[in-house]
Structure 1
Amino acid sequence: MQLRIYFNPAELGFVKPSVEDIYIIIDVMRATTTMTVMFEQGARQVLAAQTLEQALSSGRKVPGRILCGERHTKTPPGFDCGNSPAQFATMNLSNLELVLTTSNGTRALFACPEKSTRLAGCFYNGTAVTSKALKLAQERQSNIVILCAAEYGYFALEDAACAGYLAQELLRQCPEIQIHDSAWGAITLYENYPPAILLEKAQSSLDLLATGQQKDLEYCLARNKSTCVPMVTGVESETGLLQLVHPASQLVEI
C-alpha cells in the first residue's frame, strides 16, 4: 500500500490517477470541514456542485433542498446559506439534503477519477478519515491519495499542512505504508506550520479574519473533533451532482 499527496488538483492532469485508489480530498478552510459539520448535525445527504449555475439549477429541480455555497468567502445571491462550519454547527439538519458549491473544495471532488472512492478530510475529522481510508484500502488492496483543493489554482498552506497531519496519522495507524516524497514534504510542512501557526500565516485564515468569520477557524483548525467522514457514493443522474453521505448511513454504493 502506498501513499501519495498532490498539492493541487491540476497535478492529476500529469499522471494517470487510478479509479481503484482511495482519495482523501482536503479543503480545510472551509469546504471539507463544513461537510463534516453538516453530517454531525444530521444531514441526510450533501450534494456537491462544480458551479453556481449547477447548484442553482438543481435547487429548483428538487424543492426542499438547502442551497449552500460561497465564492471568495461570500454567500452568492440566491443561496440559503454560505460555507460556514460555525453556522451549520448551530442548525438542526436532521434528514435534510444540502447542495454545496465552493470556490475550491467541491471542484477538487470532481477532479478525481469518475466512480473513484472519495472521502472529505480535514483536521476536524483527521483520525476518522484516515481510519476509513486505511480500512477501504486494505479491503481493496489499493493505494491512498491525498488531494489538496488549493486556492484558486495556487498552493494553499493550510491544505498542505493538513495533508502532512493526515500522512502522520496514516503512518501511526499503519507503519508499513509506503510513503512518497510528497508525503514527507507535507509532514515537514505540518511540523513547521501546526494549526496555531496556520491561524497567523495562512492566507485563507487571514481572509476569514478580515471578513469577521473567525468563528469558522475554531472548527477548521481543531483536530479530531468528529467521527463523521463524508464520502462520495455516486452521481445524481438528474443533476450531475456528486452525492456524499456519512458511511454509517450510505444511500448508494459505488
Structure 2
Amino acid sequence: MQLRIYFNPAELNFVETSVEDIYIVIDVMRATTTMTIMFEQGARHVLAAQTLDQALEAGQKVPGRILCGEYHTETPPGFDFGNSPAQFAQMDLANQELVLTTSNGTRALFACPNDSIRLAGCFYNGNAVAAAALALAQERHSNIAIVCAAEYGYFALEDTACAGYLAQELLQQYPDLAIHDSTHGAITIYENYPPATLLEKARSSQDLLALGQKKDLEYCLSKNSSTCVPMVTGVEAETGLLRLAYPATELVSI
C-alpha cells in the first residue's frame, strides 16, 4: 500500500490516477472542516457543487435545501449561509440537506477521478479520516492519495501541513505504508508549522482573522475533535452535485 500527496489538485492532471485509490481531500480553512461539523450537527447529506452557478441552479431544482457557499471568504448573494464551521456548530441540522460550494475545497473533490472514493479530511477529524482511509484501502487492495485543495491554484501552507499530519497518523496506524517523496516534504512542513504556528503564519489564517473569524480558526486548527468522516457516495443525476454522507451507508457506483 502506497501513500502519495498532491499539493494542488491540478497535479492530478499530470499523473496516471487510479479509480481504485482512496482520496483524502483537504481544505482546512474551511470547507472540509465545515463539512465535518455539518454532519456532527446531524445533516443527512452535504451536496458539493463545483461552482456558484451550479449550486444556485441546484437550489432552484430541489427546494428546501440549505444553500451554503463562499467566494473569496464572503457569502455570495442568494445563499442562506456561508462556509463558517463555527456558525454551523451552533445549528441543529438534523435530517437536513445542505448544498455547499467553496472557492477551493468543493472543486478539489471534483478534481479526483469520477468513480473514486473521496473522503473529506482535516485536522478536526484527522485520526478518524486516517483510520477510514486505511480500512477502505485494505479492503480494496488499493493506495491512498491526499489531495490539498490549495488556494486559488496556489500552494496553501495549512493544507500541506495538515497533509503531513495525516501522513503521520496513517504511518502510526500502518507502519508498513510505502511513502512517496511528497510525503516526506509534507511531514517536514507539518513539523515546522503545527496548528499554533499556522494561526500566525498562514495567509488564510490572516484573512479569516481580518474578517473577525477567529472562532472558525479554533475549529479548523483543532486536532482529532471529531469521528465524523464525510464521504462522497454518489452523483445526484438531476443536479450533477456530489453527494456526501456520514456514515456512508449508501455507497453507490458513481
In structure 2, C-alpha distance between the alignment counterparts of 1:108 and 1:250, rounded to whole Å: 23
| Match in the other structure for 1:67 | 67
| Equivalent residue letter for 2:170 | L
**1:129-184 Cα deviation digits (max 9, x unpaired):** 00000000001100000000000000000000000000000000000000100001
Partner of 2:230 in structure 1? Answer: 230
Q: How many corresponding residue pairs?
A: 253
Q: Which residue of 2 aligns with 1:179?
A: 179
Give unpaired runs (5+ residues) of structure 2. Answer: none
User: 1:98-151: CA deviations, max 9, x gaps?
Assistant: 000000000000000001000000000000000000000001100000000000
RMSD between superposed Cα atoms in Å:
0.7
Q: What's the offset of the Cα at 1:17?
A: 0.9
- Classify 1:129/1:98 alpha carbon distance in 2 versus 1 (closer, same or farther; 3 Å): same
**C-alpha distance after superposition, 1:202-253 (max 9, x if no partner):** 000000000111110000000000000000011000000000001x253343
Amino acid in the other structure paired with 1:94: A
Q: Which residue of 1 aligns with 2:242?
A: 242
Q: CA deviation at 1:16?
A: 1.3
2:102 corresponds to which residue?
Answer: 102
C-alpha distance in 2 between matches for 1:120 and 1:172: 20
TM-score w.r.t. length of structure 2 = 0.99
Structure 1 residues not aligned, in runs of 5+: none
Give per-residue Cα distances to partners, 1:177-203, cap 9 Å, x unaligned: 001000010000000000000000000
What SS does structure 2 have at the residue aligned with 1:137? helix
Please give the alpha-carbon distance, in whole angstroms, between the structure 1 residues aligned to 2:63 and 2:70: 21
Matches within 5 A, 1:93-172: 93-172=93-172
The separation in 2 between residues aligned to 1:113 and 1:19, in whole angstroms, is 6
3-state SS in 2 of match to 1:244: strand
Aligned mates of 1:105, 1:249 — CA distance in 2: 20
- Sequence identity, in percent? 78
Cα distance in structure 1, aligned partners of 2:248 and 2:243: 12
Separation in 2, partners of 1:122, 1:97: 21
The runs of 4+ residues in structure 1 deviating greater than 6 Å are none
